[in-house]
A and B are shown apart, each in its own frame.
Chain A
Amino acid sequence: MMLAYLGHEVSPSEQSLMVAHLARCMGCRARASRLAEAQNKVRQAFERKAAGVDPPLKVTWLGQPGGRLQDHAPIRERPYRPVATLPNISSSILGLLAAVTLIIGLQRSALHGDVDETGRGPLARIGLQLSVSPGYVELGAPSLALLTARAWAGDGADLESARSTVSLQDRARAHAPTFAEPHASADESLDRWHSARRALRGDERISEPKILCLMCAELD
C-alpha cells in the first residue's frame, strides 16, 4: 500500500486516507521516507546502467527475404533457433562423451590426489559437487586420506566404493578423536594418524591399504 501510494497508484480515497494517516504517524512517515529512498536508488541505478549502452549505431533493418537482421559491423551472427541436423547431433553426442570422460577423470584424479597443507583434499579444493553425497566434499583431511587409502587399496577405485568408505571415518575417529584438532602438535597429530592407520589396516575389507601420511605427504 505504501509503495503504491508513493507511486501514485492508489485511488483518491486511499490517497486521502494515507495522507491523513501519515500526518499523525511518525513511524509510517519514516517508513515512507525509507521506501522513497529505496525507489530513488533503484531508478538511479537503472538510469546509470542504461546510460552507458546503446544499440549499435550501424544496425539497420535491411529487409532481407529471410527476415534476418543484418548489420554493417557490430552484431554477431548467431543462429537464434538451432536446427537439429545430423552433424549437430553427432557433435553433441561426442561433446557429451567428452564431458562424461572428463568428469570421471576428475573424480579419479580427485580421489588419488594429495591433501594440501590446509588439510583440504583435492575434492574440497576444486569444490566439485560431482555426484557424491553432499557431505562428501565437506569432509576433512582424515576422511579424504581414508578415501585415498580405499581407492589405492584396489577395490575402491570407483566412486561408489569410495563413497561407502566414508563410514570408515567414524572408526578412525574412535581411534584418533582429535586428529583434526588444529592446535595439536605435529608429533601428537602424527601419532594419532598412525593410530588411525593401524585401525584401518585392521579392517578386513581392505587388503594391503596404502595410506597417505598427512604429515609428510608421502605414501606409506
Chain B
Amino acid sequence: MSPRGFALDKELDGLIKRTIAGDEAAFGVIFDQYKNLVFKTAYLMLGDAPESEDILQEVFIKLHKSLHTYDPSRGAFTTWLHRVTINACVGFKRQRKMWLGSLEEMAARVLHFEPVARVEEKTDEAVLVWRSISRLSPKLRAVMVLRYYWDLSYAEIAQVLQVPLGTVKSRINSGVQTLRLECAETADEGAPMGLPLGVTGKGMVSRGL
C-alpha cells in the first residue's frame, strides 16, 4: 500500500487486468479502496451526502464500463478517478440546475434572511469558510478541493482537469482571493475571525482511504 492507502501500481495493474477479464471480485477490491476518494470529492463538490452517494454509484458504474480504456502512461489511476468524479459532479450540477449549496442556503439567498440555526453558526469560523467555499463556481471549487483537501500539486491538478498549469495557478489564486474577500466581509459584519497561523504548504495527510 502507498502512504495514501491506495494500491501500488503493480497491485492495481493486476486488479484492473482481472476486472477486465471478468473478475468482479477484483473490481470489488478497487471499489473498496477508492470509494472514499470518490465519495469525499463528490461531497466537497456538492455539499450533500445523498447526492454524493449517487455520484459514487455513477462514477463506479462508468469506471466498470470503461476500465479497459485506462492507460497508465497517461497518468495515475487516482488522477483519472478524480477527473471522472469532478466531471460527474459538474455534470450533475448542470443537469439539476441547482446551486452547489444546500437548500437552506438557497432559500436564504432568495428570501434575504438567515435561518436561526445559521445565525448561531456564524460564530464558527470553519462553517463560515465552508459557506464561502460553497458559493464558488464549480471550476474554482474543483481546484480548491484538489489542492487543499487532497494536497495535489499544481501539475497533478492540471492533469486532472486537463487545463494548462497557468490556469490552475490563476484559479487557485482567484479562489483564495475570493474566499479572503468574503471572509473579510463577514468579519466586518461582526463575526469573530481571529485566525491562527499554522503550517502551510504541502502537508501530506492520510485521508483514511
Contacts and interface: CB of A to CB of B under 8 A. Distances in A.
Interface of A: 3-4, 6-9, 33-50, 53-56, 59-63, 67-69, 74-76, 78, 80, 127
Contact of B125 (A41, A55, A63): A41
Nearest to A63: B24
B195 A4 contact: no
B59 to A, nearest CB: 10
Contact of B126 (A45, A53, A59): A45
B153 interface: yes
A178 B171 CA distance: 51
B57 A41 contact: no
Contacts of A53: 39-40, 43, 49, 52
B129 to A, nearest CB: 4
19 contacts: A3-B172, A6-B201, A7-B202, A8-B202, A35-B180, A41-B129, A42-B144, A44-B126, A44-B129, A46-B144, A47-B149, A48-B126, A53-B40, A55-B36, A55-B39, A55-B56, A59-B56, A62-B28, A127-B110
B201 A7 contact: yes
A39 B176 contact: yes
Interface stretch (B3-11, B60-68, B78-86): B60-68
Contacts of B25: 63
Interface in B1-48: 24-25, 27-28, 31-32, 35-36, 38-40, 43-44, 47
7 closest residue pairs by CB, A with B: A63-B24, A45-B129, A55-B39, A61-B31, A46-B149, A61-B28, A36-B200
Contacts of A38: 176, 179-180, 183
B190 interface: no
A55 B200 contact: no
B183 A67 contact: no
B197 interface: yes
Nearest to A33: B197
B87 to A, nearest CB: 14
A4 B28 contact: no
Per DSSP, are chain B's interface residues mostly helix, strand or loop, or mixed? helix
Contact of A54 (B39, B172, B173): B39
Contacts of B36: 54-55
B126 A80 contact: no
B53 A80 contact: no
Nearest to B27: A61
A74 B195 CA distance: 38
B196 interface: yes
B154 interface: yes
B54 interface: yes
Interface in B108-132: 110, 125-127, 129-130
Contact of A41 (B47, B60, B110, B179): B179
Contact of A59 (B35, B61, B154, B201): B35
Among A61, A68, A80, the one with the most B-chain Cβ atoms within 10 Å of its Cβ is A61
A78 B47 CA distance: 19
Contacts of A40: 195-200
Contacts of B153: 9
Contacts of A61: 24, 27-28, 31-32, 60
A147 to B, nearest CB: 23
Given A44-B126, A46-B44, A9 B154 contact: yes
A36 B197 contact: yes
